[in-house]
Amino acid sequence: MNHTKRVLLILGQALLFFALFALGSFLHPFNLHWATTPTPEGTRYFVADGLLLALGAFLAIIIVQSLRKRLCDTPRTIVAFVLAVVAGYMVKLGFVTVEAIRSQF
């Protein structure tokens, strides 16, 4: 497989993981709140729903790769997952203020 195709596959998987991270961060399907952080704007919570969705997809892909005996693709999947999580944290996905949480109820 040539390098361009490998890079595109990594970016495609990273986009999938990032989209799941963003979707879970905005929709809060599990409504789990972790780690309060005081900021000048107020108290912030980390809502881990998006991270858990991305982690679930990551584990499902790793399991399918191992069942198909395609473990040579696993390092690229790990790189894609790490890229997506780092990008998600950089744009502060999952971090919401207490006021935003209260306005949902």
Per residue in 17-59, pLDDT (tens digit) is: 999 999 998 888 887 777 777 777 777 788 889 999 999 999 9
pLDDT of residue 104 exceeding 60, the answer is: no
Rounded Cα distance, 38 and 19, in Å: 27
With a CB cutoff of 8 Å and minimum separation 6, the contacts of 22 are: 50, 88, 93
- Structural domain boundaries, residue 7: 3-104
pLDDT of residue 83 exceeding 90, the answer is: yes
Buried b (16+ CB within 10 A) or exposed e, 18-53: bebbbebbeebeeeeeeeeeeeeeeebbbbbbbbbb
State how many domains the chain has. 1
47 contacts 25 by C-beta, under 8 angstroms: yes
- Report the side by side order of strands in the sheet with 33-39: 33-39, 42-47, 95-97
Angle at CA of residue 90, ends 92 and 7, nearest 5°? 130
Q: What is the pLDDT of residue 42?
A: 74
Look at residues 45, 57, 53 and name the one whose alpha carbon lies nearest to residue 96. Answer: 45
Q: What is the pLDDT of residue 99?
A: 62
pLDDT of residue 105 exceeding 60, the answer is: no
Rounded Cα distance, 44 and 100, in Å: 9
